[in-house]
Amino acid sequence: MRQALHWLCAGLCLLTCAIACAHSGDTTGFASIAVDGSKITYRLTPTTPGTDELALGEAMRKHISINADNAACPVAEAKGLQLEFNCPAAPQQLQIRDDLPLALGDKHHVVAVMTWSGGSRSLNFSDTEREARISISNGDSAHPQHAGGFFLLGIEHIVTGYDHLLFLLALVLCGGGLVSLLKIITAFTIAHSVTLGAAALSWVTPPAAAVEAIIALSIAYVAFENLFPRFAISRRWTVSFLFGLVHGFGFSSVLAEIGLPRDSLLWSLLSFNLGVEAGQLAAILITVPLLIYLRKTQWEPLVVRRLSQLVLVIGIVLFVERMADTWI
């Protein structure tokens, strides 16, 4: 039993550290590829903090190419992490090649959403998948399956969104019994779904820097509350809901970068949100059973305290970093 508890404690600590380091993994970023007549705009949003955008932009210009109907589309303008390609004519067949692994190594991985008048499609680029061929027909209407790519994008966003996962971990660490956990998770889901939709539909557009800073602060606050839980548990679902509203704006940031296809806007938004929920559910299914088992042992107070202290430090560091970014 003692050995099993040691493994459990180690597993939870490793899970926390893995969540905190998620952005140093193998995902280079999210990309949007917008086709507007003969003009194609490729925009990359990196997911790794501290990315050298100048070097990444230079690599993009060298290693990303597009052909339309077997004719090369030259780069007309390069601005930061955005490339604009001009094709000879409005394309029917597109060939997109991403050779960034030559510059970034075999860890390179980009999830892209391509949109055009009449539909959208999700794409993946990596060291083993460098090329995509897409048929575009303006006569096609956007069916729900065109929005399916946003489901994968939602999963990718929550899995690589280490701050959202840390917040969830802090919430459930001291979340009480099963009923209390369900209230906490439901409150978070409802809250972020509301603000995700509002932001994605441009009904509300809060400053992105402020949102990211408050998300970091929410991690630190809940972890701090875990260290003094006497009055926290009964209202934990309220805290989950209030901060969930802010996290919803954070989820919407990727959609703001990529854009939702007008012809399947609601389906794409729903698919993205379902993807977020699927990723969130996977994280909860891994974590909660461990915590339920831990609560049957005498080790719970110590493990909860140590993990909460770790999450508190990470939250404070993230908050300071993000506030510093707003001042620079």
pTM: 0.64
35-86, pLDDT tens digit by residue?
Answer: 888 999 998 888 666 678 888 889 999 999 999 998 999 999 998 889 999 9
Q: In what order do the strands lie in the sheet with 39-46?
A: 75-79, 82-86, 39-46, 29-36, 109-116, 119-126
Confidence of residue 276 (pLDDT cuts 50, 70, 90): confident
Residue range 131-160: mean pLDDT, rounded: 66
- Rounded Cα–Cα distance for residues 184 and 284 (Å): 12
Residue range 167-176: mean pLDDT, rounded: 80
Classify residue 214 by its DSSP letter: H
Q: Over 95-146, what HEC string results?
A: EEEECCHHHHCCCCEEEEEEEECCEEEEEEEECCCCEEEEECCCCCCCCHHH
- Rounded Cα–Cα distance for residues 2 and 297 (Å): 10
Residue range 294-302: mean pLDDT, rounded: 82
Please enumerate, as own/partner, the contacts of 188-191 that have beta carbons within 8 Å and a separation of 24 or more.
188/240, 188/241, 188/243, 188/244, 188/247, 189/244, 189/277, 189/280, 190/241, 190/244, 191/240, 191/241, 191/242, 191/243, 191/244, 191/245, 191/247, 191/248
1-47, pLDDT tens digit by residue?
Answer: 444 444 444 444 444 444 444 443 445 678 888 888 899 999 888 86
Name which of 83, 89, 102 is nearest 41 in CA terms: 83
Name which of 107, 96, 101 is nearest 131 in CA terms: 96
Higher pLDDT pick, 94 / 177: 94
Residues 6+ apart with CB under 8 A from 143: 119, 264
120-145, pLDDT tens digit by residue?
Answer: 777 888 888 899 998 886 444 444 44
Q: Are 78 and 53 in contact (CB under 8 A)?
A: no
What per-residue confidence (pLDDT) applies to 20?
44
